[in-house]
Amino acid sequence: MGQASPASWDDKQSEYRQRWEERYAGQGGRWDDYAAAYQYAWTLAHTPGLRYGRSWADVEPEFQRGWLERGNAPAWEAVRALMRDVWNDVTDGGRDSVEGDQPAAQRERASRA
């Protein structure tokens, strides 16, 4: 059986907008202020080599560094929780992997073969 192809950001954007409205809209701001954070998190969570078996605690520094380097607003503190939500959604809490990802030990063995 073939594996279903992953959804694109365009496919998922409305779902994340609805989540934002349910979870965060009451805290102020507009969807347009937060859409870039959702898309950034979604893109990073789909980056091969980043996902394999890693928890949010493992990847959070990479998300934060990238967000700050981009000079985006809102501030990191305002988008951290929603980025974590996206990470957990896409990776099943870090338990999921992308086709071709391998644990570090397997990658080393494969590269020596």
Is there a domain that residue 50 lies in? yes
The secondary structure of 70-92 as a DSSP string is TT-SS-HHHHHHHHHHHHHHHHT
Is there a domain that residue 12 lies in? no
User: What pLDDT sits at residue 98?
Assistant: 45
For residue 75, give both structure tokens.
């501030």
Is there a domain that residue 66 lies in? yes
Is there a domain that residue 2 lies in? no
Is there a domain that residue 86 lies in? yes
Is there a domain that residue 78 lies in? yes
Cα–Cα distance measured from residue 77 to residue 99, given in angstroms and rounded to the nearest whole number: 32
> pLDDT truncated to tens, each residue of the chain (113 aa)?
444 446 788 889 999 999 999 988 888 889 999 999 999 999 988 887 776 678 899 899 999 999 999 887 899 999 999 999 999 888 876 665 444 444 433 333 343 44
Longest dimension (CA), the chain: 55
User: What pLDDT sits at residue 96?
Assistant: 55
User: What pLDDT sits at residue 76?
Assistant: 95
Cα–Cα distance measured from residue 57 to residue 76, given in angstroms and rounded to the nearest whole number: 15
Is there a domain that residue 89 lies in? yes
Q: What is the domain count for the chain? A: 1
Is there a domain that residue 26 lies in? no
Q: Which residue range(s) make up the domain with 66?
A: 36-95+103-113
Cα–Cα distance measured from residue 42 to residue 44, given in angstroms and rounded to the nearest whole number: 6
